Each structure stands twice: as structure tokens, then as C-alpha cells.
Structure 1
Amino acid sequence: DASLISDAEYDKLYHELKRIEAEHPDWVTPDSPTQRAGPKAADRFDKVRHPAPILSLANAFGADDARAWLERVTKIDDRVEKAKFVVEPKIDGLSVVLHYRDGIFAQGATRGDGEVGEDITSNLRTVRAIPLRIPVESQKSKVNDGRPSTFDLRLPDYFVIRGEAFIPIKEFEELNQKLEEAGEKTYLNPRNTAAGSLRQLDPALTASRPLTLLVYQIIHSEGGTVPTSQWEILEYLKALGFPVTDVARRFDDLESAIAYTETWDKRRDELPYEADGMVIKIDDLNLAAELGFVGKDPRGAIAFKFPAREVTTTLNDIGVAVGRTGVLTPYAMLEAVEIGGVIVERATLHNFDYIAEKDIRVGDRVLVKRAVEVIPYIIGPVVDARTGKEKTYQPPA
């Protein structure tokens, strides 16, 4: 969303607020913009038990798998035959859980094992996409984007939502460029960088990373009312000021949902973030809940995975590129291979420490990944494929 004021105006108001709060410490509130910077570094993360299980999803690796899923759940409840479906992107980031009490952001945690996560509240406060307070006008509004709403937007006294935190691809590339120009180590991929950024013990480090998030689920609420349709959940969260995906769609039948999902397999490079598939959900949340679970996987949704952009090829040699500041960066010279319709002959090796840590050798069969606009990179060697002829790499002195 576009900013309502310029960065310069924001900075001026922010510093004025800091001055006032310094003079009147008792005026500082938990939702103040100054509190996004967080407190001092922690020694460790406390554990947080989630109010409801944070579930994973079963996978579908093609249209037939999705149809088989529908057939299975229809046998459990024939109301599924008339169900509508919502399709959303499956963002490759870090799942986070946000708690709000009386409209104020009170706590944030990682997913952890689905039952217990880690308290990263101070770090999440630094993510500007997360509302620290739900605006009063959103709480009272009965209108969504100028259209009459089908639900009451009275805010629950307490509610818990789930989202995915990530670093957009463009911002990730800019971050790496700045690090390279400063002669510092660059990061390997957006997902690991986002996860590592949110698990920093010092919130100031988290604040320096270009993190954002999208939310998509209310996992628990007390008081007030929330929609019982997944599509309306997205509209509801958006109306309250949360960032939600703009590529979600609702369909009257599974075949239409599958067709839409398959278009994003071809268009995934258009997404501003890494995504490894789309999620197909039964829109009726009461029906989805009544279908129950298989292990930790809800029967009411399935992850339609995109074909992997990972392939195995041979590392013919290792070259070294010299950056504008004189920084040496190794790169892989590969036996040409096609990944996602693109011929790849070179890939980044990140840095010399990475080569040593992964024990990557010239002549190895290596696993190469290409993710959206991110430069192809080596995940690691296929150790079981070694013949004994591979050569350990010696970096330049």
C-alpha cells in the first residue's frame, strides 16, 4: 500500500514523538511506533504454547492428486460436492502467529512444532507491515472497500492470526548488493534470511532487514464475531488493516481452482516473493473443521505444489568473480542443465566458507536450485554419487 506521508515527514514526526516520550516516559504505549525498535537484546527466546494447533498441509503434486483429495473428503461429508474453494499462494517464508488483545498487538511467536513456538514479539514489532493497533474506524466499519460487507467487523476481545513472514525478492537482491559493496558476506536465499532475521536475539538486527508478511488465517478468537468463510476471512483481515495476498481467488468448483493454480505454475516469476505452490481451501470453514484431520494435516485444504526448480548436474569447475570493491566471490561452472525453462550453466557458490562447509568439490554431482529471480545457487553435493575423482577446492590465497 502507498504511504500516506513521505519518508521525510514520517522521520520528522517519529523523532518528535521520541522527544515527547523521553520527556514523558509514562506516556509510552505498547503500540507506539517507537516501540517497533524493540527492547535490548535477549539471552534466549521463551516458549509459547499456541491456543490452537498450527497445522501443516498435505501435498498434491498435480491435478490428479487434488481430485483424489476431493474424492476422499466427499466420502466423509457429501456437502463437499457443493463446496466453493479459495486458492492462495503458498509463500516460502517463516510461519508466524500474532496475538491481539483489545485491538493491540500483544504477542508474536514462531510456529515451532505446531503446539509450542518461540516468543519473538520484540522482533515482530520491528516489522512495519504488522499493525501494532487495529484502527478504531476499522473496528466499527461495516463496509469493505466501498462495498456492503456480509459480516460484522466488531473486533474480538482477543484473537490470534497466522501469517507468513518473508523478504521480497527485489529487497533481498538489494540487501545482498549492499552487503557485497560493503565487502561483507551475502545471503543465500530469501527464506533462510527471513527466518534467521526473525530469530535474532537483538531486535535491532531484525529491524535492519526488509521483512514483511501476509496473513491468511484466524486460528482463535474470543468475543466479537469473525467470518466462517475463508474468502471473507481474507476480506475481514484486510479491512482491519492487515496485509493479505492480492492473488487469492474463490471458485465454485475444484476444476476451476485447479486451472487457476496451474496458471501460477507458469506465472510464478510474477510474484514478488518466493512461492512453492498454491493452497486450495474449502471456503466453508465450519465444513472444513468438521472434516477433521489426518495426523497434523487438516482435510479441508491441500497444498498444490509447483514442480521443483531443483536439478542435479556436474560441477565442472569453480571460477572467481571480482566485485567492484575487490571482493572475491566464487561461482560454479556447470554442465548445462534446464531449470524451469531456463538453461543454467553458472550458479553462485555464495562464498569460500560455504564451499568448505558443504564440502563442495570440483567434479561433484551437485543439486542446483533456481528460485524466481534469485540467481541459481548450489544447495550442496550429492555425496553418494562420488567416484573418488572429485577434487577439493583451494581458494585463491
Structure 2
Amino acid sequence: MLADIQEKIARLAQELKEYNYQYYVLANSVISDYEFDIKLKELEALEEEYPQFKDPNSPTQKVGGDITHKFNTIKHRWPMLSLGNTYNEQELRDFDERVRKAVGNDVQYVCELKFDGLSISITYEQGKLVRAVTRGDGTQGDEVTNNVKTIRSIPHSLKTDGYPDLFEIRGEIFMHHAAFERLNQQREKNGEQPYANPRNFASGTIKLQDPKEVAKRPLDCFLYFLYADNRNRIFDSHWESIQAVKSWGFPICEHTKLCKNIDEILAFIDFWEEMRHQLTYDIDGIVIKVNDYAQQEELGFTAKSPRWAISYKYKAERVETLLKNVTYQVGRTGAVTPVANLEPVLLAGTTVKRASLHNANEIDRLDLHEGDTVYVEKGGEIIPKIIGVNNEKRAVGTSPVVYPTVCPECHEPLVRQEGEAVHYCPNETGCRPQIVGKLQHFIGRKMMDIQGMGNETMETFYSLGILRNISDIYSLKEHREELKSIERFGEKSIDNMLTGIENSKSKPFEKVLFALGIRHVGETIAKKLALHFKSLDNLVQASVEEIANVQDIGIRIAESVYNYLHSEQHLLEISKLKAAGLQFEIEEREIVLAGKNLAGKTFLISGVFVDFSREELAQLIESHGGKMLSSISAKLNYLVAGDKMGPSKLAKAEKLKIPLISDKEILEMIDQNK
């Protein structure tokens, strides 16, 4: 029996660690907060009863997050602990009783909305923002200073006075619903996987490597807790400090309230359980903090949580409804997504008729049967999600939902790449939604931006057999008479469209590369590839390893790009687009030499740098006469090595005895003989 208990404790701990990794590092919610907390409490109870099996690294002893290894790791001066959670009134009353027993009955509490976002700690020195660090594992996190500086509501420097010389302020980065929906629609249009909820989108955004990309996504932030040396000499209470913080220019949530007793706390919780759906952002509960700083110190901490604070979590809204059937949508990249069609039901203020099932793994996990009564949850999810099945209402003799083995549109056998959860239809030349989707993608605003053409036009032209490939767009002028016979296509419409097609030929290489619709290649990746390789011919000649070595690319994207550009069918299509006059190389800028100290030397840049982006370093090298190479070879003179450079590249450089230099050494080489 003891062996079974030990195994159960180990299994629960490993399961919770994986959920934490998915949530905090990969920004992926695979389990509801409520289910997670129930499992965590089960583990806590088992560890308390059988302490001999308790692991010091158990999830019960740690804050949830982890380190991404993409940014500098910074140790927190004051640990970022997590809060204990409760879902019921009695546990809140028990908390209040424990507090009063420890510090007396003269207690006030500050109640705050519990924002569903990404925790952040920001350091100010002499009133200037100097550092921003994520929660990480609670003792250290990722430095994301440049990304946080793009958030408009966060001041870079304070315009008032009265603040300490050095302090940390903590809060939550989040995304408003309207921004999330707009950006997710754009991701779907680009053939990218949509984020499940605003929290995931905010977390994924703040961990992007390029602050310019972060700036394109409208993040917001509320700040709610101050740390400083001798804070208690400046302020007596948390409420007093947040009023001061507001006067210094920080964004503070207007709905925070000072409560005198447990009844006022419960009234606040009840009010926001109803009103939270009126907010423009997501909250998943209420945080209750003892107000007085001296009382906070008296109460102290457990290994992972303050004893002077607790969070009340709202259960995600859940309803029951009937699963009518499961249909399957084929996207432009061939990805086949299952969709649950439901008996319409009211959930969180909207009527839900459909819910995403994501992939075959999710159908298996739910053990979904035809005609099941299912639980649908919205909560923090903008897109409704089936979270379970009411097995007691399952009819006798129903069959499990079976994920198809062939494409629902063209009946081609589906494929599933190793390591991916999604099934794909490989018939990109004969599967209607893929062909139409690629045509619609190609003409899109962020791609070729062809004026006078729209999604309906692509549908019509495909149905009439006028378009089959994207290269056919550039032969449409030969179909002028045929176009006149189409409803709503007059001379002026045709002229506008043909002019738009002609104008698209001047679009830069990165736009063309994005427009091709290569799987996993979005706008940012296309731009990075274009800047690195300069031309499509160079990209075609590159190996998978060389493509993967480009910043933020990675092996999966590299393999996708390589396979696309080594398909005879795609190369034929590209040759037709080249003949039509599209741009397949970067228009080389004229480099005005600032000096010649690097003349005759070749360089390759790898890794992450504090003071420069790779592009900035490359421009600096070229402006002083140096030449950039795209891969390691005997022709390379110097490898400019930053933090977290790939081990394979390092090994190859060492084998060829190529000197490794830093960005500072580049500056020294430039400055010599000045």
C-alpha cells in the first residue's frame, strides 16, 4: 500500500510540474485553474499524511513558473511568491479567523481584482525604469525590460517626487478583449495558431525576442504592490502605498477597495462575480491582503505564500449542452481542425453554438461520443471549450467520435508529422479550401495587398476555373473578356483590379515570402529570413541547419521552409512569379562606409546581445567595411558570439579554429587607429 501511495505522490507531482511548465513557460493552458488547485490540494494532503515521500522540489513547495532561457536571468531582490487559493466562503472565514488570532481584531483588508495575466516586477532607480523581470520560479525570472518599455501605460521616468531612490513595483501585464480578438483574427488569417485566451497572448508577447514586435501588440498593465528598503518608515499600510503609487503616475486599478471586515469582503466578491463580464479584461478572482504592514510582518510567510494574503478564485462559467456532431475544417496550410457543433446555450452573456476541439488528442482525452451531453466552459477563454462529458447522461450504444483518416474535403489520406498534434491534408494542389485559402492569403493586406480583389473574388474565380495557382493572378489581364461576363465586374472594377495586380509587383521580398503561405512562416519570420539571406536563391541553397541558425527560427520552421523550397511544384510556381516581375531579393541599400577598419574581414553573428540586435550589429560591421556570411565555413574570419549560442555552431567553429569574439571586441576593432 505504501508503495502505491509513494507512486501516486510522484505521479501527481510530475503531472503538476508539467502543467506549470505549460502555463508559465509555454503560455499554454491545458487544465482549468480549479482542476489544477484540486490536484495540488490532493498532493498537499498526501504529503502531510506521508511526509517520508515528500520531495523538496514538490510543486507544493514552489512557485509555479520556470525560466525560459531566452533572456538574462535575474534574481529577485524580494521573492515573487504565489498566493494560496480558495473557492468557498468558509475557507475565507477561516483565513480571517487565523489572521485575527495572530494580530488581534483591529484588522483591515485591501480587496483587489485578480487579473488573469503575466506577473511582472519593475525596478526604478532615481525615478527611472531600469529593469523589468517576470515571476519565473519565484526566486529568479527573465529580464524583459525592453519589452515592458513598449507598454504605454508604464512610465519610463516619474514626473513627481516623494518616491524612494530605489524601489520595485509589481503588477500584472494583460491584454484587453478587443485587442485580443483583433490580433487573433489576424493570426488565423496568416495561417498561424490562434491563442486560447488573452492571458496566453500577453505572456507569449512579453517573451518575444524583438521589442519592435512587442510594440505592435497593445498590452496593458495594472500595478498593485510596492517593495522598498525601509518601506514601513515611509508608509504604514498597503492602501496608503498604492494611493502614493497612483500619484507617482503608475496605472492602478480603480476597483480596489479597503474593507473593514469579512462581510465587506464577501460583498465585494459577490458584486464582481456578476460584474466581471462587464470589464474589458479578464479577472479570475479577488485578492485579499491584510492592509497594515506591521501586521503583514507579524503574520510572515510559508515556504511559497504570504500568510497575510489569499485569493478567492471564481469557478469558470460552465454549462451543459448537447453535442450535435463534430465537423472538420481544412485551413490553407492543410491543417484539419475539429469543431463541436452544439445545441445553442447561453454562456457568459453570449449564445454558444460551436466550440473548438483543437485536435485528435483532445477528442481522445475527452473520450467523446456522438450525442454526448458535454460541459462547455468559457471563463478566461474567449473561444468556448469543451472541458468534459456528463457520462451519466450518455445514451446506451453510442459510438466514440473517431477522428477521420482522410481529408473531409478531398478524401486524401491525412498525415501527422512527428511531434505535432495536428493532422494535415497533403493534397495542396487538389484540396479546394487549401487552394482558395492560399489565394486569399496571397492578396491580403499584410502580404501583397492587391487592391480590387477580396476573399469573395478568390472564391468566384476559383469556382469559374479562372484561378488555380497564385501565379494565375498575374495572367488575369488575358481573361479580360471573360471577366466582363461575371456579375458586378464592370470595366472600372476590372481596371482597378488589374492596376492593383500590377502595383503588387513592387512589394518587397519579405512580403512576397510571407505571401507564399509557407507553413509556420508568419510576417515576422518572413522578414527575418529575407534580411538574413537577402534573396530567395540564397534561401533555396541554404541547408536546414543554416536556416535554423537564424534568430528565432528553430528546426521545425527551418524544415518547413526547406521542404517547401525543394518541392518541384513550388519551384515551378516561384519561377512563374519571378517571370511576372515579383521581387525575390532585397533591394540592397547603399552602405555609406563610416570607416574601413573591418575591410577584408568576414563575420557571422550568433546568440543574443544586450546592447545590440543582430541586425544592428550586422549594419555596424558592414558600415566599417566588413562582410557578413550566412554560415560557418573556412572563409569565415570571426564568429561574433552572444549569449545562448547554439552548441552545434560553437563546435563547428572550434573545429575550424575560427576565433570567437564579443560585440565589445567588434567595437574595439572599429575604434582602433581612430
Instruction: Determine which of 214, 219, 222 is the counterpart of 1:214.
Output: 222
Identify the residue that residue 203 of structure 1 maps to in structure 2. Answer: 211
Q: Secondary structure at the match of 1:45?
A: coil
**Deviation at 1:227?**
2.3
- Answer yes or no: is 1:134 the counterpart of 2:158: yes
| Percent of residue pairs identical | 37
Decide whether aligned partners of structure 1 residues 66 and 356 sit closer, same or farther in structure 2, where only a CA change above 3 A counts.
same
Work out the CA distance in 2 between the residues paired with 1:172 and 1:226. Answer: 39
Instruction: Name the aligned partner's letter for residue 185 of structure 2.
Output: Q
Instruction: Name the aligned partner's letter for residue 133 of structure 2.
Output: A
Please identify, of 220-229 and 86-95, the stretch whose mean Cα deviation from structure 2 is larger.
220-229
- Answer yes or no: is 1:391 the counterpart of 2:415: no
Work out the CA distance in 1 between the residues paired with 2:338 and 2:402. Answer: 16
Instruction: Determine which of 346, 359, 365 is the counterpart of 1:355.
Output: 359
Decide whether aligned partners of structure 1 residues 159 and 184 sit closer, same or farther in structure 2, where only a CA change above 3 A counts.
same
Identify the residue that residue 75 of structure 1 maps to in structure 2. Answer: 101
- Answer yes or no: is 1:104 the counterpart of 2:128: yes
**Deviation at 1:358?**
4.0
Work out the CA distance in 1 between the residues paired with 2:145 and 2:154. Answer: 11
Work out the CA distance in 2 between the residues paired with 1:64 and 1:342. Answer: 32
Number of aligned positions between the proteins: 330
What aligned pairs does 1:364-375 form with structure 2 within 5 A after superposition?
368-371=376-379, 374-375=382-383
Decide whether aligned partners of structure 1 residues 378 and 280 sit closer, same or farther in structure 2, where only a CA change above 3 A counts.
same
Identify the residue that residue 244 of structure 1 maps to in structure 2. Answer: 252
Q: Greater CA radius of gyration, 1 or 2?
A: 2
- Answer yes or no: is 1:192 the counterpart of 2:196: no
**Deviation at 1:337?**
6.4
Q: Secondary structure at the match of 1:100?
A: strand
Work out the CA distance in 2 between the residues paired with 1:293 and 1:284. Answer: 15
Instruction: Name the aligned partner's letter for residue 296 of structure 2.
Output: A
Q: Secondary structure at the match of 2:359?
A: helix
Instruction: Determine which of 84, 98, 119 is the counterpart of 1:58.
Output: 84
8 A contact 2:232–2:293 mirrored in 1: no
Identify the residue that residue 308 of structure 2 maps to in structure 1. Answer: 300
8 A contact 2:284–2:380 mirrored in 1: no
Decide whether aligned partners of structure 1 residues 302 and 223 sit closer, same or farther in structure 2, where only a CA change above 3 A counts.
closer
Gaps of 5+ in 2: 1-67, 410-674
Instruction: Name the aligned partner's letter for residue 160 of structure 1.
Output: E
Work out the CA distance in 2 between the residues paired with 1:223 and 1:330. Answer: 54
- Answer yes or no: is 1:91 the counterpart of 2:115: yes
Instruction: Determine which of 156, 168, 171 is the counterpart of 1:163.
Output: 171
**Deviation at 1:214?**
0.4
Q: Secondary structure at the match of 2:79?
A: coil
Cα deviations by residue, 1:87-132 (Å, 9 ceiling, x for unpaired): 1100010101101111111011110111111111121121112111
Work out the CA distance in 2 between the residues paired with 1:95 and 1:106. Answer: 17
**Deviation at 1:74?**
1.6
Work out the CA distance in 1 between the residues paired with 2:125 and 2:375. Answer: 46
8 A contact 2:197–2:383 mirrored in 1: no
Work out the CA distance in 2 between the residues paired with 1:205 and 1:228. Answer: 41
What aligned pairs does 1:232-311 form with structure 2 within 5 A after superposition?
232-310=240-318
8 A contact 1:51–1:220 mirrored in 2: no
Cα deviations by residue, 1:18-62 (Å, 9 ceiling, x for unpaired): xxxxxxxxxxxxxxxxxxxxxxxx982111110111111112212
Decide whether aligned partners of structure 1 residues 115 and 372 sit closer, same or farther in structure 2, where only a CA change above 3 A counts.
closer
RMSD of Structure 2 on Structure 1 (CA): 3.4
Normalized per residue, the structure richer in strand is: 1
8 A contact 2:172–2:222 mirrored in 1: yes
Taking CA–CA contacts closer than 8 Å with sequence separation of 6 or more, which of the two structures ends up with the larger relative contact order? 1
Cα deviations by residue, 1:202-225 (Å, 9 ceiling, x for unpaired): 222222212111000013346996
Identify the residue that residue 144 of structure 1 maps to in structure 2. Answer: none
Normalized per residue, the structure richer in helix is: 2
Instruction: Determine which of 94, 116, 121 is the counterpart of 2:145.
Output: 121
Instruction: Name the aligned partner's letter for residue 71 of structure 2.
Output: F
Instruction: Name the aligned partner's letter for residue 131 of structure 1.
Output: P
Work out the CA distance in 1 between the residues paired with 2:69 and 2:84. Answer: 36
8 A contact 1:167–1:273 mirrored in 2: yes
Q: TM-score, normalised by structure 2?
A: 0.45
Work out the CA distance in 2 between the residues paired with 1:379 and 1:307. Answer: 13
Instruction: Name the aligned partner's letter for residue 237 of structure 2.
Output: S
8 A contact 1:339–1:370 mirrored in 2: yes
- Answer yes or no: is 1:230 the counterpart of 2:254: no
